[in-house]
Amino acid sequence: MTLSVRLDDELDRLVQETARVLNRTRSEVVKLSLRDYCGRALRARDANPYSLAKDLLGRVGSGRGDLSVRGRDVVRELLDAKRSRRSC
């Protein structure tokens, strides 16, 4: 399929320079760039807070069923325990 796109001078120079550095044609650079951009855009669209942070989380659940009700108390207990370890 053919697609015609008008590039401003700056973008045209950027594509030409990239093609020269990568030893590719301008068309290949544009195709690779579009594939990368569209892929990232679609992944971002499908992303949710969990999928964005899942590599930072140790596990899905806490094992505690009362956190929605006692969340503030649990955090306070953890902070108090941390303070008491520091004062020893």
* Mean pLDDT of the residues in the chain: 87
**Whole-number percent of the chain with pLDDT over 70:** 93
37 vs 70: which has the higher pLDDT: 37
Amino acid found at 9: D
Indicate the pTM of the whole model: 0.53
SS (H, E, C) 34-86: HHHHHHHHHHHHHCCHHHHHHHHCCCCCCCCCCHHHHHHHHHHHHHHHHHHHH
- 10-36 per-position pLDDT tens digit: 999 999 999 999 999 999 999 999 999
Measured in whole angstroms, how far is the alpha carbon of residue 75 from the centre of its chain?
Answer: 28
- The domain locations on the chain are 9-48
